[in-house]
Amino acid sequence: MTSPKLNKILIVPIYPVDFSLVLTLVPSIREIFKCDVILDNTNHLNLSSAYDSSRYQFNSTKIISILSEKFNNFNGKVLGVISVDLFIPVLTYVFGEAQLGGKISVVSTFRLNEIAYGFQENRKLTEERLLKEAVHELGHNFGLLHCENYLCVMHPSTSVEEVDIKSPYFCNDCYEKLFWQISSKFNDYHDGK
């Protein structure tokens, strides 16, 4: 009997978003997490309940709830990619948010684009920043906490400059934790638990 693969990642573009930018994530995330990466392009999410008109921003926690409801039956991790400005109530803005040890995360390109800082668009830089924040949020989904190593992708970023400093990869400690999480869940699954 063939078992469904437990470790897979579904990337969900949430429009309006630059779809070609989202596409750049697929091969890199597949390589970094060593799992199947699927692209869902059937998005019709209504995000009106996540919009805060007093802040002109979208509440990322509410977007995670919307994604969680839509992909409740998906067996894997789900990463939403959006281009609007995100916040959580205690912070001015966030690049993304994830359920720690859960399956849903969201990341925004809004503050990763040089245009947000009054500069000309630098598409290559936006791609690099998006990959780092996507891997960071997925790392949280796999149970990883923030890392003190400023080069590790799990290092927290409170500014885009901090995003630029870190790499898109895990440090050795975080890498070991990640693959312990992935392999133990995979083994639990095959043990019938």
Summarize pLDDT for 81-92 with one digit per residue, the tens. Answer: 999 999 999 999
For position 41, what pLDDT does the model report? Answer: 82
- pLDDT < 50: residue spans in the chain: 1-5, 187-193
For position 191, what pLDDT does the model report? Answer: 43
Spatial distance between the Cα atoms of 154 and 144, rounded to a whole number of angstroms: 8
DSSP state of 2: P
Q: What is the pTM of this model?
A: 0.91
51-87 residue pLDDT tens: 999 999 999 999 999 999 999 999 999 999 999 999 9
Is residue 137 flagged as an active site residue?
yes
Q: How many CB atoms lie within 10 A of CB 139?
A: 27
From the candidates 137, 148, 161, 176, which is the catalytic residue? Answer: 137
137 exposure class (CB count in 10 Å sphere: 0-12, 13-18, 19+): buried
Spatial distance between the Cα atoms of 101 and 38, rounded to a whole number of angstroms: 20
152 exposure class (CB count in 10 Å sphere: 0-12, 13-18, 19+): buried
